[in-house]
Amino acid sequence: MPSQTAGVRRGDRHPLARLVVRRLALSIALLFAVSILIFGGLEAMPGDFATTYLGQSATPAAVANLRAQLGLDQPAATRYLDWMAGALRGDFGTSWASRGPVSEQIGQRLSNSLFLAGVAAAISVPLAILLGVVSVRFRDRAPDRIINLASLAAISLPEFFVGYLLILFFAIRLNLATFPATVHEGMGLLERLRVVALPVTGLVFVVLAHMMRMTRAALISVMSSPYVETAELKGLSALRIILRHAAPNAVAPIVNVIALNLAYLVVGVVVIEVVFVYPGMGQYMVDAVTVRDMPVVQACGLIFAAIYIFLNMLADIIAIVANPRLRHPR
C-alpha cells in the first residue's frame, strides 16, 4: 500500500508537463485527421484536372496518358501516403499547372501572408487590450457605450465589404493608398508597409472588435472576484485594480481569444488577399482552385491547418501554464 501511494504522488508531481505533452499529442493527431479530410474532400470534388487541362476535345488516350504522368491512376490511399510522406520532408510535390516545385512557390507566398498578418497583429492586439481596459474602466458610461457600438458594427460587416469600402474611399476617391497591393522581392520595409496599408487596415478592422469584446468580458468576469472587492475596499484606484489585480488573472481567456484571432489573421487572409490582389497564400490557393491544381490546394490547406492548430495549441499551453494550481502542485 505505501508503494502504491508513493507511486500516485510521484505521478501527480508533474501534472503541468503531462497536460502539455497530452496537448502536443492531440494537436499532432488532429493535424493528421485534417490532412485526411483535405485529401478526401478534394478527391470527392467533381471533375478531373487532366480533362480540364487538355480541354473537352482531348482524346481518351491523351487524358489517360496525362493521368498516368500525374499519378492519378494510382489508388487514393497510395497517393495520400505518398503525399504525407513528402509533406513530412517538406516536399509538397509538383504543381500540375506550372510544373514547378510547390514548396519553392509557397515559400515567398507564405512569407507575404505572414508579413501581412504580423503587421495586422502588431496593431490589433495591443489596441484591443487597450480598448478593453478603457471599456472596463468606464463601464456603462459614454466611452464604454461608444466602444461597444463601434465593435458591434465592425463584427457585423464581412471582410470583403470592408475591403471594398476601403478601396472605394482611400484608393479611388481620396487617392491616399495603393491598389492593388502588389509587393515583390527587394522592396524596402517602408515601401512595403505603404503598399499593404489597406489590406492591413481591413484585417485589423475585422479582428479588433472581437478581441476587444472578449478582453472586456474576461476582465469584467474577474472584477467580480472577492480579491478585487478587497482591493476596492483598500481604496485603490480603478485603473490600478484592473492592471494589477484583474488583468493577471484574466490572462488565460485573453490569450485564448488572441491566439484564435491570430490564427484567423493567417488563415482568414484569403478573402482580404483576393480583394486587394495581394500575392500571398490565399491568392495562391484561390488561383490553384480555379485550375484544379490539387497539389497546391492540398499544400495550402495543410499549412493553414497546421498554423491554426499550432496557435490554438499554444493558447492552450499558455492557459495551462498560467494556472497556479498546476504550476505549484501540492
Does residue 226 have a cis bond before it (omega within 30 degrees)?
no
Enumerate residues 6+ apart whose C-beta is below 8 A from 30: 309
Among 316, 313, 288, residue whose Cα is nearest residue 301? 288
Whether this model's pTM surpasses 0.75: yes
Query: What domains, with CATH codes, occur in the chain?
Result: 115-293 (1.10.3720.10)
Is pLDDT of 8 > 50? no
Q: How far apart are alpha carbons 295 and 289 in whole angstroms?
A: 10
> Is the model's pLDDT at 7 over the cut of 50?
no
Instruction: Let me know: does 244 contact 227? Beta carbons within 8 Å.
Output: no
Average pLDDT over every residue of 233-254 = 68
Cell of 77: 490511399
Closest CA to 278 of 165, 105, 111: 111
Q: Which residues have CB under 8 Å from 202's CB, separation 6+?
A: 159, 162, 163, 166, 272, 275, 276
3-state class of 96 per DSSP?
Answer: coil
Whether residue 125 contacts residue 227, with contact meaning beta carbons closer than 8 Å, is answered with no
In our burial notation (b when 16+ CB lie closer than 10 A, e otherwise), range 227-263 reads ebeebeeeeeeeeebbeebbbebbbbbbbbbbbbbbb
- Per-residue pLDDT band at 212 (split at 50, 70, 90): confident
Tens-place pLDDT, residues 48-94: 667 666 666 667 787 778 778 777 778 888 888 888 888 888 888 88
For residues 103 and 90, the answer to whether their CB atoms sit within 8 Å is: yes
Please give the DSSP secondary-structure letter assigned to residue 61. Answer: H
Q: What gap in Å lies between CA 224 and CA 218, rounded to an integer?
A: 11
Give the pLDDT confidence score for residue 87 in this predicted structure.
Answer: 86
Tell me: pLDDT of 11 over 60.
Answer: no
